[in-house]
Amino acid sequence: MNRIIGIDYGLKRTGLAASDPLGIFAQALDTVHSAKIIDYLKNYAQNERIVGFVVGYPMNLDGRPSEAKAHVDAFLPSLRKAFPDVPVTLEDERFTSVLAHRAMIDGGMKASRRRDKTEVDRISAAIILQGYLDRQAKH
């Protein structure tokens, strides 16, 4: 089935989300060590058809790329090389961590789980992807 993958890339950990087959809803998928992200995605692609990547792009409040941009920029060539036929879209990721924490609180997640950064990364990836899917639905 066709899936769009949301990626919240970090220097240590990367949060992942996947769309439903119709490209309407994003669901938090996993958090993996960033050094293993390409292998994880290749394994995932053995069972699901990846039709797009939406990568969170770190921006400052003034709209300029943040310092973390360099890490994402270094990751993008590896992603494109591993999946040359899959389009990659960059998505502004401002406020996704704040929104992820809010979603965890609103969802009743216990404080101990909210402190787990792997949870925040997965949910942030889902928020990044859902923003993209919502905009696509308007077109």
Q: Is the pLDDT of residue 106 over 60?
A: no
Q: How many CA atoms lie within 13 A of 24 on its CB side?
A: 2
Q: What is the pTM of this model?
A: 0.84
Question: What is the crossing angle of helices 37-45 and 69-82, to 10°?
Answer: 40
Domain of 93? 2-138
| Number of domains the chain is built from | 1
CATH number of the domain within which 71 lies: 3.30.420.140
Q: What percent of the chain is modeled with pLDDT above 70?
A: 78
Mean predicted confidence (pLDDT) in 27-53:
97
From 9-18, 57-66, 91-100, the region with the lowest mean pLDDT: 91-100
> Tens digit of pLDDT for each residue in 62-96?
767 667 788 999 999 999 999 999 999 998 876 55
